[in-house]
């Protein structure tokens, strides 16, 4: 599939995971890593799957790591910011927000 000169210059195509994250964060709210993973299609495998559970888990973990690297790059580029937040249930999650909306 051909890509536009702008996509070529940016080094990413329309609807890349980075672009999806950036669009999600247009709502001026902070979203958790888990929420963003679900939106871009990184789904934790079910633990009760008898076939290929280990393989599916490894694929999930690798994909999650790659996604976190993409988020780190977006943060280094000044597009988003992240912060660890203590949730009401006592767990700690990473939340992301577009930097331009942080005041």
Tens of pLDDT, residue by residue over 30-44, are 999 999 999 998 988
Q: Report pLDDT for 49.
A: 64
When pLDDT is cut at 50, 70 and 90, the band that residue 86 belongs to is very high
Residue count of the chain, please give it.
103
Q: Which domains does the chain have, with CATH numbers?
A: 5-101 (1.10.10.10)
Residue written as token pair 């694929």 = 59
The pLDDT score that the predictor gives to residue 45 is 81
Q: Which pLDDT tens digit goes with each residue over 61-80?
A: 999 999 999 999 999 999 99
Note the pTM of the prediction, 2 decimals: 0.78
- d(CA 83, CA 90) in angstroms, rounded, equals 16
């Amino acid at each position: 599939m051909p890509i536009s000169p702008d996509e070529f210059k940016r080094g990413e195509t329309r609807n890349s995971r980075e672009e999806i994250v950036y669009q999600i964060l247009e709502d001026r709210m902070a979203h958790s890593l888990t929420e963003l993973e679900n939106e871009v299609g990184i789904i934790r495998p079910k633990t009760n799957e008898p076939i290929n559970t280990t393989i599916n888990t490894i694929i999930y973990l690798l994909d999650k790591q790659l996604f976190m690297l993409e988020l780190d790059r977006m943060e280094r580029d000044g597009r988003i910011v992240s912060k660890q937040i203590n949730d009401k249930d006592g767990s700690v999650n990473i939340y992301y927000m577009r930097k331009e909306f942080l005041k």
